[in-house]
C-alpha cells in the first residue's frame, strides 16, 4: 500500500528565505506526482505536476524535483513571501489518476 | 477561467438525515473524483468516475454513501442516513486522462458538512 510522508509537518521562516519541503513515498511505481497548496478553509490549488519520466518542474519561484527510484520529491520555494503561507500537500498518482496524499507541511512566512 | 464548482459550500444537518452534495467538473475533463478531508485522516479518495462510469468506490462506506454522474456536467455524492462521524470537508476534483497520459487534477472549493 502506497504511503506518502511529508517532512517537516510545520515550518516557520522569515520573509525572504529559500526553503525546501520534502515528500517521500514508499512505492516507486507512480505515474506522476503533484504538489498542491491549501489555504485555510479553502480547496486545493495545483502548483506543479511532475510526470514519472521527468526530474523537475519549475513555475516562477517554485521548483519541484522527483527522484522516483529513491521515492522522494522536494518542493523548493525561493525568496519566500508572507503570501506563501499555507499548507503544502504532495500527492502521488498510483494509476488511473488515483492520488494518495501526504500529510502536508504547514508553512508560515513572517514579515 | 474554468473551475470545479461545488454546492452547497456548507451544510449542517441532524443525524439520520439525507445529504446530497453536487459537483460540476471542468468542461472537457473525463475523470471526476470525490475526496473527504478530516483532521485525523487527511485527504482520502472516496470514489472516482471515468467518462461518467464509476471506476472505483472502494474508499466509500457502501451502506450509506452513493456516488453518481447523471450527466457529464454533474456529479453527486449522497449520504443516507448521515452520522456525526461523516462530518468533514468533501472535495470534488476533475482531471483529464488521454491515452497513457494523465494531467493535473483540479479541485473544487469543497462542501463543509457538519452532522449533529
Q: Do B109 and A99 touch (CB under 8 A)?
A: no
Each residue's pLDDT tens digit, A19-75: 999 999 999 999 899 999 999 888 899 999 999 999 999 999 999 999 999 999 999
Q: What is the distance between the alpha carbons of residues A90 and B71, in angstroms, rounded to a whole number?
A: 31
- Mean local confidence (pLDDT), B68-91: 96
Q: Do B56 and A96 touch (CB under 8 A)?
A: yes
Q: Is it the case that residue B49 has pLDDT exceeding 80?
A: yes
A2-11, A84-93, B10-19, B91-100: lowest mean pLDDT where? B91-100
- Mean local confidence (pLDDT), B75-86: 97
**What pLDDT, on the 0 to 100 scale, is given for residue A106?**
96
Q: Is it the case that residue B100 has pLDDT exceeding 70?
A: no
Q: Is it the case that residue B22 has pLDDT exceeding 90?
A: yes
Q: What is the distance between the alpha carbons of residues B90 and B45, in angstroms, rounded to a whole number?
A: 10
Q: What is the distance between the alpha carbons of residues B96 and B70, in angstroms, rounded to a whole number?
A: 19
| Nearest CA distance, B90 vs chain A (angstrom) | 10
User: Residue B91: its chain A contacts at CB < 8 A?
Assistant: 43-44
The nearest alpha carbon in chain A to B93 belongs to A44
Helix/strand/coil percent split, chain A, to 5 = 5, 60, 40
User: Residue A93: its chain B contacts at CB < 8 A?
Assistant: 102
Which residues neighbour A40 within 8 Å (Cβ) at sequence distance 6 or greater?
A: A86, A87
**What pLDDT, on the 0 to 100 scale, is given for residue A96?**
72
Find the helix or strand (DSSP H, E) in which A60 lies: none
B105 touches A at CB < 8 Å: yes
Amino acid at each position: 500500500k502506497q504511503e506518502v510522508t511529508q517532512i517537516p509537518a510545520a515550518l516557520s521562516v522569515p520573509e525572504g528565505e529559500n526553503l525546501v519541503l520534502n515528500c517521500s513515498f514508499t512505492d516507486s511505481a507512480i505515474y506522476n506526482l503533484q504538489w498542491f497548496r491549501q489555504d485555510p478553509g479553502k480547496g486545493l490549488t495545483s502548483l506543479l505536476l511532475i510526470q514519472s519520466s521527468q526530474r523537475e518542474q519549475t513555475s516562477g519561484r517554485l521548483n519541484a524535483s522527483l527522484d522516483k527510484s529513491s521515492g522522494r520529491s522536494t518542493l523548493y520555494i525561493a525568496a519566500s513571501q508572507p503570501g506563501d503561507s499555507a499548507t503544502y500537500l504532495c500527492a502521488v498518482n498510483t494509476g488511473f489518476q488515483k492520488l494518495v496524499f501526504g500529510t502536508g507541511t504547514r508553512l508560515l512566512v513572517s514579515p | 477561467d474554468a473551475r470545479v464548482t461545488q454546492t452547497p459550500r456548507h451544510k449542517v444537518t441532524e443525524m439520520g438525515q439525507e445529504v446530497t452534495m453536487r459537483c460540476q467538473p471542468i468542461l472537457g475533463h473525463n475523470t471526476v473524483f470525490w475526496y473527504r478531508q478530516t483532521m485525523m485522516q487527511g485527504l482520502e479518495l472516496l470514489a472516482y468516475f471515468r467518462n461518467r462510469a464509476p471506476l472505483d468506490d472502494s474508499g466509500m462506506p457502501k451502506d450509506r454513501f452513493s456516488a453518481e454522474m447523471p450527466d457529464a456536467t454533474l456529479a453527486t455524492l449522497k449520504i443516507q442516513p448521515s452520522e456525526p462521524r461523516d462530518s468533514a470537508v468533501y472535495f470534488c476534483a476533475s482531471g483529464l486522462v488521454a491515452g497513457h497520459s494523465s494531467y493535473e487534477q483540479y479541485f473544487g472549493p469543497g462542501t463543509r458538512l457538519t452532522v449533529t
